[in-house]
Amino acid sequence: MQNKISAGYLAAAFTVAVWGTTFTSTKILLRSFSPIEVLFTRLCIAFIALLLAKPQKLVVKDKKHELVYAAAGLCGIALYYLLENTALSYTTVGNVGVIISASPFFTGLLSCLFLKAEKPGLQFYVGFLAAIIGIALISLNPDAALQVNPLGDLMALGAAAVWAVYSLLSKKIGTYGYGMVQSTRRIFGYGILIMLPLLYLLDFRPAPRLLLAPVNLLNLLFLGICASAICFATWNFALGRLGAVKTSVFIYLVPVLTLVTSAVVLHEPVTLRMLAGMLLTLFGLFLSEFKAFRKSLSAEVE
């Protein structure tokens, strides 16, 4: 049991470490492509990678399972990314970053309602508040007026909520006993199918010349294979080992890692305010997970 828990923490840590770099990678791609072009190409690459990794067909035992897969594809793939990308068109990156980081809070609330075994206590919410304050220090620009657009901020809030739903659905899928790679591929497949009707409406026309440019191709492969195919599988693995609440808390680290990679790759400035936010976010993560870490240490001693 202890080995399974440790593997879950490692999988969650690896996933957020990669996801923390995706903003920088996507920002580079947005110089050549529209958000829908980046997203759909990334998803197709991920699906092909998962198919090559394990081409065996997934035979679903129950029709109800198929509905859960479809719901996961709708929430975790289509709705989440579309809401996030569209929100960035209406409001600031800082606003979206802070609001979407509220997804662990939604996960905790939904878990209280639907997963009786997972009931976060006061310490979880105090840690959540500390982490959100830290993320706000990182994301919000103190030199610019706070820009608030109700439509964009509402979309970001919706993205945080649907990601929480996806986390619970993924945990449910993990109990079915299907292969992790095949299950992840199924979720991506439904996400792609749901997005197909939107391609025409959103003017999906990526230029082949730009797709084959080395910098674009490498970033697309990174987003499709590593950040999507591999990381969704490791995220689902972590959900199965740790539960939806404990795993989702790791999302707090994503803005911190994004700050580091943007400074190294894009040479964006890092201020003392941002460093303070990083430390506060890490403290919030530790505080929310302190009980779990203490139980793990006790188990190792025994």
What pLDDT digit, counting tens, does each position of 27-80 carry?
788 888 888 888 899 999 999 999 998 898 888 888 899 999 999 999 999 899
Q: What percent of the chain has pLDDT over 70?
A: 81
- How do the domains of the chain map onto residue ranges? 2-301
Secondary structure, 3-state, 16-27: HHHHHHHHHHHH
C-alpha 11/C-alpha 150 separation (Å) is 36
pTM: 0.76
CA angle 269, 272, 277 (to 5 degrees): 100
32 secondary structure, DSSP code: T
C-alpha 156/C-alpha 101 separation (Å) is 9
Token duo for residue 302: 């025994």
- The predicted pLDDT at position 193 comes to 94
- The predicted pLDDT at position 245 comes to 67
C-alpha 10/C-alpha 25 separation (Å) is 23
The closest alpha carbon to 289, from 83, 101, 127, 81, belongs to 127
Q: Using one digit for the tens of pLDDT, what is the confidence trace for 190-243?
A: 999 999 988 888 788 888 899 999 999 999 999 999 998 898 888 878 877 887
